[in-house]
Amino acid sequence: MNSVTPLHPFDGQQATGPRILIVDDDPDAAQITASLLTAGGSYRITCVESAQAAYNALSLTGGGNREARMECDLVIMDILMPDVDGIEATAAIRTSPRGAFLPILMLSGRRDLDALGQAFMAGASDFVTKPIEPVELQARVRTLLRLKREQDRRQARERQLVTSNRELQEAVLDGTLIDGADGLPSRAWAEMLLRDARMRGTPMAAALIQIEELDAYVALHGVRGAERLAGEIAARLRTVPAPLGVTLAHWDEGRFIVFSPGRNEAERLEKLCVNMQHAVEYPAIPHGNALHHDRVRVSTASAWRPAATVVDLPSALIASLAEENFRGKRHVALA
């Protein structure tokens, strides 16, 4: 096998089943892995010998051939490879839009916890040690492929929701329900949602995202600078994957709010808040006038309320952040 660009299917007769890319610098080991897989199911398998060949196969690099691009459902990655090892390759795949949600199963003869920890920190979905146990490999592959199908369905639904939301924005002629600065649903829309939830008897989970030390930022960069900052943060928040039914809105200057109508989703919103903080703060946006840090940061708070008190959610979240920020906390989960 060539180690740079051409793709080599394990079996040219395989035309059905999930598409799997095996990345292993040892061709014999790759063929053994492919054989173990095909013994337990029907797959379209491609083998490459290096991280660079994997990048090219998945069209993650500028030099990739789009016509040869592999539509992939799962990557099986050997950890120990020359030049770029499997852990570094996994991290690179994870940072690309095409690889952000791609399942990656790591293979290694190393059984130490450090290797396992590094693999998962790089973004590995699962880990199998060598020598490979066929039943274990097949079971883990089936599990990861099932999760990939569920993720694909969810993303398809999210695209439908994005389309519906865009159509709604275009339909609102006077801009009352859409914030003109960042294109998010406005506070007026959010208040209508809360009142409607109270009338319909629908409980609500919500999370507030608040820019820290915004007044100090305005003092240095001016109002226009703060408006540009809010627009950039809104754009970053939009990129964070969220559970179905969750909606992000603009609340007021320096604050955004997330709503999840229905059952208690407070724990899921806590996790979403962590991801939103990460999206806003990495890569860093320079602050220049903050007391305790040099980049723009956001604090978050989340809570769930029964239908009778949902309209009080935003004020409760704002009040909690006003208290907790004084104590230096980044997230508040209200009871």
**∠ CA 316-248-122, rounded to 5°:** 105
Give the CA radius of gyration of the chain: 24
Same domain (yes/no): 291, 195:
yes
Same domain (yes/no): 145, 177:
no
What domain range is 306 assigned to?
A: 172-333
Mean predicted lDDT score pLDDT of the chain: 84
Same domain (yes/no): 310, 176:
yes
pLDDT digits (tens, 9 = 90+) for 182-202: 888 899 889 999 999 999 999
- Which residues face 185 on adjacent strands? 178
SS3 (DSSP) at 245 = coil
At residue 4, the pLDDT reads 35
Cα 30 to Cα 216: distance, rounded to the nearest angstrom? 57
By mean pLDDT, which of 153-162, 182-191, 210-219, 274-283 is the weakest?
153-162
At residue 171, the pLDDT reads 60
Same domain (yes/no): 84, 191:
no
Domain boundary among the residues 150, 182, 197 is at 150
Report helix angle 187-200 to 313-324, nearest 10.
Answer: 120
- Beta pairing, strands 104-108 & 204-211: unpaired
Same domain (yes/no): 197, 146:
no
Strand order in the sheet with 255-261: 247-252, 255-261, 204-211, 298-305, 331-333
Is the per-residue pLDDT at 3 higher than 50? no
Same domain (yes/no): 263, 138:
no
By mean pLDDT, which of 67-71, 262-266, 327-331 is the weakest?
67-71
By mean pLDDT, which of 106-110, 208-212, 274-278 is the weakest?
106-110
Same domain (yes/no): 208, 309:
yes
Same domain (yes/no): 196, 146:
no
Domain of 227, CATH number, reads 3.30.70.270
Number of domains making up the chain:
2
Same domain (yes/no): 50, 129:
yes
| Tokens standing for residue 232 | 């950039």
Same domain (yes/no): 146, 176:
no
SS3 (DSSP) at 40 = coil
Residue 111 placed within a domain: yes
